[in-house]
């Protein structure tokens, strides 16, 4: 098997902390740490590795959405919305097809943009104005991405499990959003 240099470097970093191997279909498989502190420390290192030498925002967001889809348990959607003019526009993601455009102030993503802070929603059915792209979603976290002082997008993660996201998730995902804000050409 030949791995591209970016993947090889990421896998080398991952391999030091993840139990991994190959399944019968020759796909790389591994198990991430169950401890959230260790998980987000590892994800931070892996994100830095993915961003190293690459500043293209779409390429980086695509890789990070794939990384998070692999690493985070009990999620059903992970991706990005990019602030383009006066609206959020769907960016790279993993999951079911999603809403393409969201206005600031609308839904959890738009609320995160207007408030400029992470939104943790334990029960999306109790969030007034929630935009349901996947009716299986029960909880959500949305983290604004800043480039300097300006919001340039959001990281959005949904889960079919109520109350899935906690303070450790918020802190860990905010660190990843910070890395993306600094590591991409927005």
8 has a pLDDT exceeding 90: no
In 3D space, the residue among 3, 8, 143, 13 whose CA is nearest the CA of residue 65 turns out to be 143
| Numbers of helices and strands, H then E, in the chain | 5, 8
Read off the pLDDT of each residue in 130-138 and give the average, rounded to a whole number. Answer: 88
Domain locations in the chain? 5-183
Mind listing the pLDDT tens digit for each residue in 70-115? 999 999 999 999 999 999 999 999 999 999 999 999 999 999 999 9
pTM of the model: 0.88
Which residues touch 93 (CB under 8 Å, ≥6 apart)?
A: 65, 77, 78, 79, 80, 156
User: What is the tens place of the pLDDT at every residue in 140-163?
Assistant: 999 999 999 999 999 999 999 999
Residue in 126, 66, 129, 123 with CA at minimum distance from that of residue 99: 129
Confidence of residue 172 (pLDDT cuts 50, 70, 90): very high
Question: Residue 83: which H helix or E strand, with range?
Answer: strand 77-84
Distance CA 141, CA 117 (A): 11
H helix or E strand, kind and range, residue 6:
helix 5-15
Phi, psi of 176 (to 5 degrees): -65, -40
Is 33 buried (19+), middle (13-18) or exposed (0-12) by CB count in 10 A? middle
Q: How confident is the model at residue 1 (pLDDT cuts 50, 70, 90)?
A: very low
Joined tokens for residue 157: 């993660």
Q: Which one is the CATH code of 5-183: 1.10.10.10, 3.30.450.40, 3.40.30.10, 3.40.50.300? A: 3.30.450.40
DSSP 185: B
């Amino acid at each position: 098997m030949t791995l591209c240099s970016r993947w090889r470097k990421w896998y080398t970093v991952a391999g030091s902390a993840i139990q991994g191997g190959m399944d019968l279909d020759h796909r790389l498989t591994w198990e991430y740490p169950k401890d959230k502190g260790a998980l987000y420390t590892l994800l931070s290192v892996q994100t830095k590795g993915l961003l190293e030498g690459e500043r293209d925002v779409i390429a980086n967001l695509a890789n990070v959405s794939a990384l998070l889809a692999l690493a985070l348990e009990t999620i059903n959607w992970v991706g990005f919305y990019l602030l383009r003019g006066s609206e959020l526009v769907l960016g790279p993601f993993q999951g079911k097809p999603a809403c393409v455009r969201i206005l600031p102030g609308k839904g959890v993503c738009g609320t995160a943009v207007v408030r400029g802070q992470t939104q943790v929603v334990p029960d999306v059915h109790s969030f007034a104005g929630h935009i349901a792209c996947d009716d299986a979603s029960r909880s959500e976290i949305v983290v604004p991405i800043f480039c300097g002082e300006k919001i340039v997008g959001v990281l959005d993660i949904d889960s079919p499990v109520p109350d899935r996201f906690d303070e450790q998730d918020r802190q860990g995902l905010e660190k990843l959003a910070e890395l993306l804000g600094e590591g991409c050409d927005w």
